[in-house]
Chains A and B, each alone.
Chain A
């Protein structure tokens, strides 16, 4: 074989400009032949490769311009004019296209603004990339699971700072409650003890005063809402608060600074800040104790240092902590960057950062994508259908020398213009309706101003390109591919039998069914949660939190004298408000439980339901010290068939089970129900006074309790509440979710029916002559009806069979993520969703079929 290496030759053919290929290839081949004779095969081959490689230069690669160049700029105006005329001619379909796209785009823009807002929480802190929260991954004493706690030992941060030169500063956060008094105004406020560098690490905007206030242990930093609450609109710097802390200590603090309203996208939210030094004065025994856990610890690295420099040296502290607190065996310290902390807050227990659950974000993103796709499919279907009237135009364009590329350009331009129009309409819709709507549902403000300009422009451009291509590419490519001869001879049959258009419509309805079933199942779930049994009756219960024993006793005495009050009881932890997680021992095994310390009669007052055994009895001596009441979950976890009389150990005291109560929800439905035990605690520890009130006298009783409070503790704020209110936040969330999903379902139905309407009405217009001829030959209304509906019934059934289960299982897996104990789904939402879809589709189609039936055949046929 005396040919040069094939692959090199092919390579040359591939890269070389076809205009130059002949001479170049000829020359290298000729040289190869010469060398083959003179120098032998291997040398010739080698040199051939070298030559091919040397020819690889830009001047040989670049394709020379075609001599023909169309005047595309002039054509552009022609495209626009024609596109506009066409849009006017088909008013119905073009407005469906425009409005449908605008609707979907408006929703997409709103959801983007929302998700962007949630994902970029805390990014306004100028040091956010250097700030980390340290969390504690702790082995659960009960089982083999572990919990990632926001809390960490209080001396950890100072110790780290001393040992690591890469740490610039730290701040710890210790939550505290206190009654804050200024002159005659008293409220219970949440107060954070923080280290002085808190305001260096986090960049919260200052309204008045000095940012260095926290260096002074007697200083307090308040936020604007607090300032307005106590002082109105004046500058309060220098005013003095007297604060009574939860342990009864009273101290005075001078306002040193007022922070402006915390930015809406701050996931870290607080009311008042006091220096950590004040905490050290308040509880000196805890301040350096490795077994005392403070609520959060943040460190800030020096610029250009890595967190691994700190995280790799944590073993030392692990052993210190494990020695100090045996029942909190730490597995590791974890580090969370402030950027993204709000997204990961579901990984952390007792988290300080208030972000949304990422599942919600994912669901919203999916929803907006679905809506966009729906609108795009509508557009695709309708434009392919409408183009039948433009076949002649395409044919003529081709005959007079329009190339395919130009036709594609023409359709894409038209499409782009329409997309931009929809985009503007969509922005308007988002601005006027969707964003205010969303903001009213959730405690945040979604608006264009929260999005960074960069993110927004990127999103806008990619959205435009995405929508324009998805909706425009297929029609443009398909339409431009016809042969002009076939078009002009009328041979191009088109539209009716297009498999693609049917597949598209099916996909569209699959999406619609998926969304609707998903939404309806979720709504059904939310609805049933609204009425779900809490595990106890809460309608007639009122709770008063008290500050100290004296107040508690005084309130209790007052309650005894009121005949409207049927029962009362005290507790350290009140249902729905708080519970203490701890662990108990049974046969060497540990079990993690939620503990409620209560007084006698509390369980009766709260209407908890006894399953077996008895409730606490004051007259039985052992109930004061060693009896326990557990819930059914506790008994199941222990494997007790007959729990009464069983015993376990808590706090090195043997406890005997005297009663078992039914499962109840001690927080909201987001939290799962864990094992629970109730223990009796001496009356002087009680904090909450719960009262059961005669039906119909709730408000009277509230007034009565308030008046007693005024006499007993005029200095302290009154914070009584109806037990009903405990779930208020949950129900508000729930309602918002329902409204949101209701809206999405409506938009989905609207979009898919708009698409169907456009398509059907178009097809009918096109086939009007056919139907007229059929009518003349005696076709019955029934017959035509069947003829029309055959296709759509098939499409609908297929979509139903695929889409409904998809939506059902998709949403169920989401519900399981959000609610640990989902409701059994019934068939009702399923059937309702399907029925609504089918009915709307039927109405849409038959409204068009009426046109055929009413139509007078002679009118249609006379035209030609």
Chain B
């Protein structure tokens, strides 16, 4: 395992799992990201990342929620674990912390 660092796509999907709560599975996550971020992902990539996140114990999964369009097949539903929440918090914190340290001057662009 490559440590606790979150990749960019991992973070995105982890966030989405949190957003969808109780209703997070492959297709839904893919749709949500497409809708909110405008990024097209292949479903297999989503699965791969979900598996990696589960390996890192950032999310949990259970089977459930068969529908007709799935041909009666159940979904694998993902939920955040405490560790996952912590990882998100940490990422968020690091980002905010770093953002806040940017000197004001650097962000003042003169627009003439």
Contacts and interface: CB of A to CB of B under 8 A. Distances in A.
Interface of A: 22-31, 33-34, 50-51, 54-55, 57, 59-60
B71 A26 contact: yes
A27 B48 contact: no
B48 A23 contact: no
Contact of B27 (A22, A30, A54): A30
A31 B74 contact: no
9 contacts: A23-B25, A23-B74, A26-B74, A27-B75, A29-B73, A30-B70, A31-B43, A34-B27, A51-B43
A25 B71 CA distance: 9
Top 9 nearest A-B pairs (CB, nearest first) are A26-B73, A54-B44, A26-B70, A33-B69, A23-B76, A27-B26, A55-B44, A30-B70, A30-B27
Contacts of A60: 47
Given A27-B70, A55-B43, 14 more contacts: A25-B71, A25-B73, A26-B74, A27-B26, A27-B43, A30-B67, A30-B69, A31-B30, A31-B43, A34-B27, A50-B42, A54-B44, A57-B48, A59-B48
A51 B26 CA distance: 13
B27 A24 contact: no
Nearest to B30: A31
B42 A54 contact: yes
Nearest to A37: B69
Interface in B1-43: 25-27, 30, 42-43
Chief secondary structure at chain A's binding surface: helix
Contacts of A30: 27, 67, 69-70
A60 B43 CA distance: 13
A29 B48 contact: no
Interface string B41-82: 011110110010000000000010011011101111000000
A23 B44 CA distance: 11
Contacts of A57: 44, 48
Contacts of A23: 25-26, 47, 63, 73-76
A25 B75 CA distance: 10
A34 B70 CA distance: 10
B25 A27 contact: yes
A51 B44 contact: yes
A155 to B, nearest CB: 74
A380 to B, nearest CB: 48
Contacts of A55: 43-44, 47
Nearest to B45: A54
A242 B51 CA distance: 92
Contacts of B42: 50-51, 54
Nearest to B29: A27
Given A31-B27, A33-B69, A59-B51, A26 B75 contact: yes
Interface of B: 25-27, 30, 42-45, 47-48, 51, 63, 66-67, 69-71, 73-76
B63 A29 contact: no
Given A29-B69, A51-B43, A22 B26 contact: no
A25 B45 CA distance: 14
A22 B63 contact: yes
Contacts of B66: 26
B30 to A, nearest CB: 8
A29 B71 contact: yes
B63 A27 contact: no
Nearest to A25: B73
Contacts of A28: 43
B45 to A, nearest CB: 8
Of A24, A30, A50, most B-chain CB atoms within 10 Å: A30
A55 B42 CA distance: 9
Contacts of A25: 71, 73
Contacts of B45: 54
A59 B51 CA distance: 9
A19 to B, nearest CB: 11
Contacts of A31: 27, 30, 43
Contacts of B47: 23-24, 27, 55, 60
B62 to A, nearest CB: 11
A295 to B, nearest CB: 73
Contacts of B75: 23, 26-27
Contacts of B71: 25-26, 29
Contact of B70 (A29, A50, A54, A59): A29
A29 B74 CA distance: 12
A57 B27 CA distance: 19
A163 B73 CA distance: 79
Of B51, B70, B74, most A-chain CB atoms within 10 Å: B70
Given A31-B43, A55-B47, A22 B69 contact: no
Given A30-B27, A30-B67, A57-B48, A22 B74 contact: yes
A26 B44 CA distance: 12
Nearest to B26: A27
A54 B30 CA distance: 15
A30 B63 CA distance: 16
Contacts of A54: 42-45
